[in-house]
Amino acid sequence: MSLALSLPEAAPPRSVRWPRWPVALLLPALLLAAWQIASQRGWIAPGILPAPGEVWLTLRELWESGDLASHAAWSMGRVVQGFLLGAAGGLLLGTAMALSPRFEAYVRPSFLAIAQVPVIGWVPLLMLPLGIEEVLKLVILTKAALVPVTLNTRDGLRAVPQRWVEVALAFRYSRAQLLRHVVLPAAVPPVFTGLRYGLTSCWKALVAVELLASSEGLGYLLVWGRQMFQMDLVIAGILVIAAIGFAFDAVLARIEARLQRWRAA
């Protein structure tokens, strides 16, 4: 009689996964430490690069006075309006170009020619008929969001695997069912890539427009700080602009992740 002894199998080695946020915060922490050391040792003049503590005090003063919230509200409101208009137009135009080669043949050359001109390049021309009020900013922001959303929507719809379409047709899907159940779910990733690029372009264009023609907003805050030689105000404005832009992109990324889970289900 023989006894067979079985040893427990060794668990497969696990790859070490570091938490995402500590790794993501490592580089900003190193930059902040370098900034602090440079300020303490006087490597850079305070008029060019104020100390982090001075910038933090400026941020607190702006927040407590309400100026920061007011300027941020102006900028975010403009971006939301321009992005919604540009995204809606881009989705419609990109879908039309993807579904109708004839329509694309008429529209695409002119669209690409207009897209090649940076949004700031349109400001001197549009200032003449539109002035420097809100209509000018809305048109510039709409154009900034329209281009990437249109191109990514068209490419996303065109990239749907042909075999998926053939299977849907074999099940006698109508054109509406084909778009709803096959084409649109498959195009979610590239379309949302275009939306995120569009929002980023819209946010950058807004700051540039406010630098040129505005009396309120975060871009105007930067201009005011430069004119008053208050670099702490300029850096504080840059940090707020970066934080809001990051938050906008994070919101779209979360929405995309939810849609991706729905698409997988």
Cα 212 versus chain centre, distance: 22
**What are the residue ranges spanned by the domains of the chain?**
57-264
pLDDT(96) > 80: yes
**Whether the Cβ atoms of residue 117 and residue 144 lie closer than 8 Å to each other:** no
Q: What angle do CA 205, 210, 214 make, to 5 degrees?
A: 150
Binning pLDDT at 50, 70 and 90, where does residue 48 land? Answer: confident
Give residue 209's identity as a one-letter amino acid code.
V
Distances (CA, A) of 163 to 65, 182, 255, 260: 60, 11, 28, 21
Bigger pLDDT: 240 vs 32: 240
Residue 177 CB neighbour total at 10 angstroms = 13
Bigger pLDDT: 6 vs 223: 223
Distances (CA, A) of 67 to 22, 60, 99, 220, 244: 32, 10, 48, 12, 16
Interhelix angle 101-115/134-158, rounded to 10 degrees, is 130
Give residue 250's identity as a one-letter amino acid code.
A
* Total number of residues shown for the chain: 265
Average pLDDT over the chain, rounded to an integer? 80
Residues 105-149 pLDDT 10s = 999 888 888 888 888 888 888 888 887 788 888 899 999 999 999
This model's pTM is above 0.85: no
Q: What is residue 29's predicted lDDT score, i.e. its pLDDT?
A: 82
Residues 3-28 pLDDT 10s = 444 444 444 444 445 556 677 778 88
Residue 226 CB neighbour total at 10 angstroms = 14
CATH architecture observed for domain 57-264: Orthogonal Bundle (1.10)
Please state, for a pLDDT cut of 70, what percent of the chain lies above it.
Answer: 86
Interhelix angle 188-212/67-99, rounded to 10 degrees, is 130
